[in-house]
Amino acid sequence: FDAKTNEQRRAALRTALAKGTEILKAGGSSLDAVEAVIRMLEDDPQFNAGKGAVFNAAGSHELDASIMDGKSLNCGAVAGVSIVKNPISCARKVMTETRHVLLAGPGAESFAKQQKLELVEPDYFDTPEEKESWEEYKSRKSETGATQFDFQFTPRWSIGTVGCVALDGQGNLAAGTSTGGMTDKKFGRV
């Protein structure tokens, strides 16, 4: 990215880091810190997680997220969600409110609704920048006849998944990730 964009991204990361640090300094858990930090990054269209997620081959968004508690080794994940505003929060609910590790697609979305998590219209995740990027990618793919994603000439279309690791005052480690996947991915790809 150019220098201005890199600085904007670093500023967003510093803000998210400050939020996580604040939670931990107040005695909060590593899971709380990880979820809060990733939610902030999912809400920031500069990243490929939540708002600003890349477009898949069908022209829509399918988001994935996961979280793990190092103390209990419990984990939760969601895959292929398209209406859950903050997939990381749904992943955490999968971990804490079910006996499952992974829920996908419409089942994960029904679960999110049952848990009263915030749902959005699928176009919430659209941004003009990602739409333009997707159109450019499709055009290049058409021009070159490429049948696969080419990371060598398309680095912009593979950057932006977010993650966080936190260690709290009780010595508990937690980690999480959230992603919109990769541009032009086959629908249903996790």
Q: Looking at the annotation, which residues are catalytic?
A: 161
Q: Is 175 helix (H, G, I), strand (E, B) or coil?
A: strand
Q: Are strands 162-167 and 173-179 parallel, antiparallel or unpaired?
A: antiparallel
Q: Hey, what are 170's tokens? A: 């009780």
Contact 113, 119 (CB under 8 A): yes
Helix runs in the chain, H state only: 3-25, 30-42, 87-97, 105-114, 128-144
Q: In sequence order, what are the beta bridge partners of 177?
A: 66, 163
